[in-house]
């Protein structure tokens, strides 16, 4: 049975009509109204992930628990907008997002509810969880990725770019490419730099990076990697999973790109490399709260962790679980920054002010 394509006939038209939803959501799967009985064997998942490999993951959850997973997939912001408009009438049980900045945004808008779970507390490290005021964490990270430095092997001495701070070095003037500073991936990194350095020094660093731009920020991480390979710039930042995708690609052009670039795990002699998370929490008005908690606990299990993380070329977040993704493993071991992702989220406000002041747009 394909749980993703299950057609549900009961819809919540009133919520949809008031939502002004994007076109991508307008054609999405309709979920049952929250008036359904709490003991229904159903879980309504709002997911920003879009991997076909996740289907087997959800089917296994249904097999183990008898709980059917109904899923809506869309971008992070589209899902947040949908939840805002649905309000207390939302049928969402679990919200799954793919960046600490977005998880933090959902948290501060009150779109999650706290969860007390011995399983989750034992499995997921404390620095990979959301806010906990004693009532339980509001979300948990289930996979991690690193933000690495990529350089052109033919033209850059890797000793010049061992740390994030090095991206502001005068020697790199006219050589650095990045995506927009306003993108959540960049906001998370700048937020982490703010937590480590303080606002003033972080702003000085950001201004130095902007002064080194080879061009105005544009495109995604893969575009930055390709720009380094072609010589449009010499140094860039990328999430690790984009590099793994290029490594695993069957396209000769992608393999040629990877042959021309080197990868640096930043700050190995200090705080470690910045890591981000894919994470999930129980939605504020979840009509199937017990099923939602069971689902989060399932995602923390060994088998689900490997399936979940490998499907997106990330590392498992649960303690003691090692990746079996050979391409990811080929990148080697590194020291990860253990800064709390919740604090990275909290630093988003300051990070946004910094990018405005230094013109990182």
Residue recorded with tokens 């995604």: 220
Nearest-5° angle of CA 273, CA 341, CA 123? 95
Strand 235-239 relative to strand 176-177: parallel, antiparallel, unpaired?
parallel
Task: Write out the chain's pLDDT in tens, 361 residues.
Answer: 443 333 333 333 233 333 334 433 333 445 544 444 445 799 999 999 888 788 899 999 999 999 999 999 999 999 999 999 999 999 999 999 998 889 999 999 999 999 999 999 999 999 999 988 888 999 999 999 999 999 999 999 999 999 999 999 999 999 999 999 999 999 999 999 999 999 999 999 999 999 999 999 999 999 999 999 999 999 999 999 999 999 999 999 999 999 999 999 999 999 999 999 999 999 999 999 999 999 999 999 999 999 988 889 999 999 999 999 999 999 999 999 999 998 998 898 999 999 999 999 8
H or E element that contains 141: strand 140-152
CA distances 258 to 153, 159, 249, 333, Å, are 10, 19, 10, 19
Domains of the chain: 3-143+277-323 (3.40.190.10), 144-273+335-358 (3.40.190.10)
Q: Which residues are documented as binding site for Fe cation?
A: 50, 241-242
CA distance 361 to 355: 7
Contact assessment for residue 163 and residue 270, using Cβ atoms and an 8 Å cutoff: yes
H or E element that contains 341: helix 341-346
Q: In DSSP terms, which residues pair with 43 in a beta bridge?
A: 69
* pTM (2 d.p.): 0.86
Task: Output the pLDDT for position 111.
Answer: 97
Q: Which residues are documented as binding site?
A: 50, 241-242
Q: Is 39 exposed, middle or buried (0-12, 13-18, 19+ CB in 10 A)?
A: exposed
């Amino acid at each position: 049975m394909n749980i993703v394509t299950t057609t549900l006939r009961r819809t919540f038209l009133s919520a949809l009509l008031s939502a002004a939803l994007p076109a991508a959501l307008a054609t999405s799967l309709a979920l049952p109204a929250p008036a359904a009985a709490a003991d229904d064997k159903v879980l309504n998942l709002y997911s920003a992930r879009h991997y076909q490999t996740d289907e087997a993951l959800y089917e296994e959850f249904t097999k183990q628990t008898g709980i059917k997973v109904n899923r809506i997939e869309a971008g992070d912001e589209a899902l947040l907008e949908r939840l805002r408009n649905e309000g207390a009438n939302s049928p969402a049980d679990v919200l799954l997002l793919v960046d600490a900045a977005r998880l933090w945004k959902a948290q501060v808008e009150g779109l999650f509810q706290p969860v007390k779970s011995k399983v989750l507390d034992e499995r997921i490290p404390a620095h990979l969880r959301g806010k906990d005021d004693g009532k339980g964490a509001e979300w948990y990270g289930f996979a991690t990725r690193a933000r690495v430095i990529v350089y052109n092997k033919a033209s850059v001495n890797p000793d010049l770019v061992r740390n994030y701070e090095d991206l502001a070095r005068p020697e790199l003037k006219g050589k650095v490419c990045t995506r927009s500073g306003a993108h959540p991936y960049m906001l998370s990194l700048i937020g982490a730099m703010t937590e480590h350095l303080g606002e003033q020094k972080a702003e000085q660093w950001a201004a130095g990076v902007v002064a080194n731009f080879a061009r105005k920020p544009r495109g995604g991480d893969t575009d930055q990697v390709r720009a380094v390979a072609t010589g449009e710039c010499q140094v860039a930042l990328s999430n690790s999973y984009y590099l793994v995708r290029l490594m695993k690609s069957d396209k000769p052009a992608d393999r040629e790109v990877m042959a021309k670039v080197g990868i640096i795990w930043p700050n190995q002699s200090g705080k470690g490399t910045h890591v981000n998370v894919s994470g999930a929490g129980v939605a504020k008005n979840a009509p199937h709260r017990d099923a939602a908690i069971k689902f989060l606990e399932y995602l923390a299990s060994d088998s689900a962790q490997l399936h979940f993380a490998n499907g997106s070329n990330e590392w498992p977040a649960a303690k003691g679980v090692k990746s079996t993704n050979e391409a990811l493993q080929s990148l080697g071991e590194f020291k990860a920054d253990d800064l709390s992702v919740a604090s990275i989220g909290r630093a988003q406000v300051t990070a946004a002010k910094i990018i405005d002041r230094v013109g990182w747009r």
